[in-house]
Structure 1
């Protein structure tokens, strides 16, 4: 049975498994803001028309400068891409025939992009899924002849945070060995940012941080992500990227998002309230849940061997969860659920209640 490698695009999921799609479907498999995008996007949408006939700024200005100011870094240390996935692809291109470490469970695009570039992968795994504690000694042992270590913080799929002090410990170790570290912070803006590695950029030239704007600001269809790292790396990657690779509409929309900081704080508060209720519900059902700091979490049924049956029961009844069949270390025995509005969460709970005969 071939599962899709990502969440979202649920229509293709029903087609693949030849399951009749209900009239109403709640997609809990993706992690985009449940409350949509900032109001300014709808209010100013007509202003984008004047950008359609003109080429975008080749360096994605003024968004590049605004993002640099937001993160208190120099403009020359920041590179914007057509989504984080584009930047991951070009970053991986630097490691052909070189050893790269990834720690599972983690975002599947790391392995996909690295294998496409024929990198020599070393795949480690955390011992405790719920806490997501890194196997530090195993990582250090492998770093001695590795070109790069990939870390996802907060982790996808678990939502767990890696303490900044742990990342700095690895940066110090890697700096002495010439081992780079990529920290993917696609969901860090769902936190208070205290564990972000961005402030460490100034001290560790072996650090690169990846960010995404699509999840928090509800603009997955726009595609917008960025790297923060040493100047030389930014220049190297920029030389390889296509000219005008960030479109003019994305630049404008990104600018409007940054202007609405209240939207981010309100989104965090709303999702946190819904997530707290979901966590309480799942624990009542004797599920195990991950220690998530983001707008999603993973849970394991009290009977993990029935996970696949429950997944398809949800699918048939109009709720799409994220399977973990392609997350090494979770092996299909967990499910990821994105935090959505009350109606969607109530539907999920209704299905689980029925599953347990309540």
Structure 2
């Protein structure tokens, strides 16, 4: 269901998780070390300092901001708060949306994105928003495809009045970060983002959301556990909000390395889907053994055959540092040449 299973395999290069290839910045590490001195205290149950900092960053009311133990907790809380009967998803996409929908007893309706469109979200998605749909969950950029949805399509989806939970967890690592829907938020929209991917801290767990209004934020917050974010995570988040230069450097590295990986993989006659994110989806002509063969070389990639809308032979790789990417390409070429 997810990448990152390095605990059951001997792995040197983990391409299965999509986190910032530059790793966790030093200032965040220092902030977390300092936070250890505070672990004998409870966190601020209101997280006022972190919420205020997020609100200032986006120019929104602090009452519209909520924080969570990763974005996944917020997805679950949002559906728990509104209890939709039918949730619409555009697939292939992150499995966590369906997991959250099923957990609250919702029926899942799937709109299948097409390979001939590079799995992009197109206008016909609007036609899938039928009267019986209560909630729509979308990602921009989408995972695993890396497609950033057209802002006009998102706006039209929001205009239907349905509850829209928009996942922007990877947007800050793209050159379209300024297109966040937070700046165009409507009262029926909740935009979810994460520090995890942008700052390579999946072991810390920290996400946040900007809701369309204070009432929505309060309702979702009511389905979150008390003290759901640790003092260490809160301090990491406060430090992260000061790291815009780090993100700009990260975006430059990702763009260059994504281009390198895409061109090299396409050169092996694999089917590469254009991506704007820090990961790439590609089809390996139905090969089911690519992940297994790479594990033998201590390289882990994401087998995407369990995504709705994909099948055996589709894989996702993260964009990592150049030396790691060179190693992956070297081993992929060995496998491709051996067929």
Normalized against structure 1, the TM-score is what?
0.89
5+ residue gaps, structure 1: 15-20
Matched with 2:184 is 200
Three-state SS of the structure 1 residue aligned to 2:253 is helix
Three-state SS of the structure 2 residue aligned to 1:34 is coil
Question: In structure 1, what is the Cα distance between the partners aligned to 2:117 and 2:317?
Answer: 15
Within-5 A mapping of 1:1-358: 5-12=1-8, 14=9, 21=10, 25-94=12-81, 96=83, 98-128=85-115, 131-137=118-124, 139-172=126-159, 174-175=160-161, 179-191=162-174, 192-201=176-185, 204-229=186-211, 230-301=213-284, 304-306=285-287, 308-357=288-337
CA distance 1:95–1:45, change in 2 (3 Å): closer
User: What displacement does 1:109 show?
Assistant: 0.4
Contact 2:81/2:219, CA 8 A, preserved across alignment? no
Contact 1:163/1:195, CA 8 A, preserved across alignment? no
Deviations 1:201-259 (CA, angstroms, capped at 9, x unpaired): 1xx21111111111011111111101111211111122232221111111111111111
Question: In structure 2, what is the Cα distance between the partners aligned to 1:96 and 1:41?
Answer: 36
Question: In structure 1, what is the Cα distance between the partners aligned to 2:130 and 2:38?
Answer: 46
CA distance 1:65–1:273, change in 2 (3 Å): same
Contact 2:286/2:314, CA 8 A, preserved across alignment? no
Deviations 1:53-74 (CA, angstroms, capped at 9, x unpaired): 1111112131111111111111
Question: In structure 2, what is the Cα distance between the partners aligned to 1:251 and 1:45?
Answer: 9
Contact 2:71/2:208, CA 8 A, preserved across alignment? yes
Normalized against structure 2, the TM-score is what?
0.94
User: What displacement does 1:199 show?
Assistant: 1.4
Question: In structure 2, what is the Cα distance between the partners aligned to 1:129 and 1:210?
Answer: 29
Contact 1:95/1:114, CA 8 A, preserved across alignment? no
User: What displacement does 1:87 show?
Assistant: 0.8
5+ residue gaps, structure 2: none
Corresponding residue pairs, total = 336
Question: In structure 2, what is the Cα distance between the partners aligned to 1:195 and 1:45?
Answer: 30
